[in-house]
Amino acid sequence: MSTEDELHRLREWLAWHNYRYHVLDDPEVSDAQYDARFRELEALEAEHPEWITPDSPTQRVGAAPLTAFAKVVHRVPMLSIRMEVDVNKWHDSVRKGLGLTAETQVAYAAEPKIDGAAVSLLYERGHLVRVATRGDGREGENVTAQARTIAALPPRLLGSGHPELLEVRGEVFMTLSAFAILHARAVAQGEKPPKNPRNAAAGSLRQLDPRVTAQRSLEFYCHGTGEITAREWPQRHDAVMARLREWGLPVCPDAEVVTGAEGCTDFFQRMASRREQLPYEIDGVVIKVNDLAWRARLGFVSNAPRWAAALKFPPREAETVVEGIDVQVGRTGALTPVARVMAVDVGGVTVTNVTLHNFEELARMDVRVGDRVRVCRAGDVIPDLVEVVQPEQRDPLARPFLVPVVCPACGAPVARVEGETILRCGNGFACPAQRKEAILHFASRRAMNIDGLGDKLVELLQNEGLIEDVADLYRLKDTPERIAGLARMGEKSAENLLAAIESSRERDLSRFLFALGIREVGEATAASLARHFGTMTALMAASEEELQGAPDVGPVAARRVVEFFRAPRNAALLNRLLAEPATGWHQTNMPVRWDHPLSGATVVLTGTLSTLTRQEAKARLEALGAKVSGSVSGRTRYLVAGASPGSKYAQAQALGVEILDEEQLRRLLS
């Protein structure tokens, strides 16, 4: 095989598996296999740069920075969609416009209204030649170099039969997880963080340097077409989307075809109930007549089509007033300013506290007590403060917030660690606030899962002198009368608490490691360390180099683990914990069975299991090499459904995921 043929073969292989991963959500090869072939292609192209093509997978890394964006005139305008309040009236107007009787059914293409940036892709004979933003609908900007970095967007269509010219319309967006990473990175670097995923996606697409765009993990779903020169073309929207998907273009997996106003309303309500579980931000749904001939008959009004409507969800932004600014101390000593605001409903949730992230961000936004502010929710537990509304109209006596020089909980000096924007109290577990947060983390559901040990009770136990640290929790069994005598406790509540503490002794090494709250050691890292070292004794004796021998453990996490174990106060705490009898956390973990049928499989749990707790099932699945996910996707191998399964059951059915009952799960585990 010639070198040129080898280059072509590698590009075809990478394009196919990119399609399996991003469009079908059903990869056939591991990331390591894909990366190895990608590096192989890079090496060949480095030897033969004259054979590099614009549609090669290696060209996604980003071209040289631009000085400006060129203008693009949309030959078919990218029109806006009208917002509708009453779907029944709109449905009646569609039937009237088509001259249909009340008995004639109208099918609608329904899809989530993803909050991103609308773009137009132009393919000539199957090759991507231009990507443009929507702009004002008639004129946008050429962002081809930036869009080529989006992994989900094919530079060359798969298959055959492509039109001479094909314009695809769709949405570039950022997932909530990618947005959280970008937001945290901006805050840590002292930069202005993006306000929401939509702004982040639009801003990333308009970076003059495409290499910056390449780092932003953008996604794309197509939702329509513009100009097309084809002899034959499907006459239903869902058939068009199916054809685009066959050619390698990703289509939203949550899109459906529904019938009549009832179908539209049902879809709207289902998407509203699933809104919090979706991996991307949506602000409503879009309903479009599915029949393209009917669309042509309905036509347009002003700058919007008569055949489409947008149904919006309640806003996730609201205005309120800052009543105070508090400083919270976390378990790692990080000081975080939090604004106390007048209670306001934001997207169905009552908000009274809004994070300000750090003191640099607080100073940049210049938030003061008494300010009127706009707050939003973008998937966060604690909402964000977007901006101060008309700061020029604030009370002239309002003063800027003074950055603390001592910890508000213990009075110890605070300092900024080199390379961080966060102020920290360096008093460690001598700080009562850090001790309290460490205990709460230790008792949390994903850690030791001590049911009933919440914020108020921990504070009460501390104030009564019953606990100083997490090791003291296991001494509470010696004073049941004092526990029962605490405010709002009683004998039964005390029994339940002590039983929950005793049951936590059975947690395995990975849960225990995560519960310790070591910086940079999350659940995945803790599980990796537990599997690699097997015992707490071996782990505590490991050097930084040995720790990095565990899968996915980098130098930063390794250094944090060594620092934690070497700290005298932590060493004393661990000695007390490891001296506790009948515990599971210092025992050897079950080794991972990489040869098991579950190895590498993604499994989702839903409903209530009768013979296993959710955490027990998760631990046993992971011990057999499975990955337990919280959401259903095309990559899900099995959905395990217990009693009263939730919406994940319907999602799995729609995606053709194999569904197991509890007995089938037990057979697999055995």
Q: Do 37 and 174 have their domain in common?
A: no
State the average pLDDT for the chain.
85
Q: Do 191 and 282 have their domain in common?
A: yes
Residue 245: its H or E element? helix 237-246
Question: Would the pTM of this model clear 0.75, i.e. be above it?
Answer: no
- Return the closest-CA partner of residue 226 out of 166, 171, 172, 286: 166
Q: What is the C-alpha separation between 252 and 244, in angstroms, rounded? A: 12
Three-state DSSP class for residue 282: strand
pLDDT of residue 31: 58
Q: Are 127 and 55 in contact (CB under 8 A)?
A: yes
Three-state DSSP class for residue 406: strand
pLDDT of residue 379: 46
pLDDT of residue 63: 46
Q: What is the C-alpha separation between 133 and 119, in angstroms, rounded? A: 4
130 DSSP β-pair partners: 122
Alpha helices in 247-378 (DSSP H): 260-274, 292-298, 359-365
Full domain range(s) for residue 662: 602-669
Q: Distance of CA 433 to CAs 201, 427, 455, 464, 661, Å? A: 38, 10, 11, 15, 44
Q: Do 502 and 514 have their domain in common?
A: no
- Single residue among 276, 291, 312 that ends a domain in this structure: 312
Q: What DSSP letter does each residue of 419-443 carry, written as one string? A: T---EEETTGGGSHHHHHHHHHHHH
Q: Do 167 and 287 have their domain in common?
A: yes
Residue 31 lies in a domain: yes
pLDDT of residue 184: 80
Q: What is the C-alpha separation between 332 and 344, in angstroms, rounded? A: 30
Residue 527 lies in a domain: yes
Q: Do 394 and 270 have their domain in common?
A: no
Q: Do 294 and 207 have their domain in common?
A: yes
Cα three-residue angle 441-444-447, rounded to 5 degrees: 85
Q: Do 162 and 288 have their domain in common?
A: yes
Tokens standing for residue 106: 């109208």
258 DSSP β-pair partners: 108
Q: Do 223 and 362 have their domain in common?
A: no
- Single residue among 288, 312, 336 that ends a domain in this structure: 312
pLDDT of residue 35: 64
Q: Are 391 and 370 in contact (CB under 8 A)?
A: no
Residue 122 lies in a domain: yes
Alpha helices in 470-567 (DSSP H): 480-484, 490-503, 509-515, 523-533, 536-541, 544-547, 555-566
Place of tokens 């395990």: 640
pLDDT of residue 404: 93
| Identified catalytic residue from 96, 113, 192, 477 | 113
HEC string of 70-139? CEEECCCCCCCCCECCCHHHHHHHHHHHHCCCCCCCCEEEEEEEECCEEEEEEEECCEEEEEEECCCCCE
Torsion 628-631-634-639 (CA) sign: positive
Q: Are 444 and 451 in contact (CB under 8 A)?
A: no
Number of compact structural domains in the chain: 6
Is 288 marked active-site?
Answer: no
Q: Do 496 and 564 have their domain in common?
A: no
Q: What is the C-alpha separation between 165 and 163, in angstroms, rounded? A: 5
Q: Do 339 and 283 have their domain in common?
A: no
Amino acid at 609: L
CATH of the domain at 370: 2.40.50.140
Q: Do 516 and 495 have their domain in common?
A: no
CB burial of residue 271 (10 Å; 0-12, 13-18, 19+): buried
CATH of the domain at 197: 3.30.470.30
pLDDT of residue 589: 46
Tokens standing for residue 328: 């919270």
For the chain of 670 residues, list the mean pLDDT of each consecutive stretch of 10: 74 74 62 69 75 68 58 86 86 92 90 92 93 86 90 89 94 89 79 80 87 87 92 92 93 93 94 86 93 91 83 83 94 91 82 88 92 76 81 90 93 83 84 92 90 90 92 92 87 91 89 91 83 85 90 86 90 89 62 60 82 75 75 81 75 80 81
pLDDT in tens, 543-554: 999 999 887 688
Half-sphere exposure of 212 (CA within 13 A, CB side): 14
- Return the closest-CA partner of residue 110 out of 295, 261, 248: 261
Place of tokens 């929401």: 196
- Return the closest-CA partner of residue 609 out of 670, 656, 647, 660: 660
Q: What are phi and psi of 258, to 5 degrees?
A: -120, 170
Q: Do 172 and 286 have their domain in common?
A: yes
pLDDT in tens, 176-204: 888 888 888 887 777 777 877 888 888 88
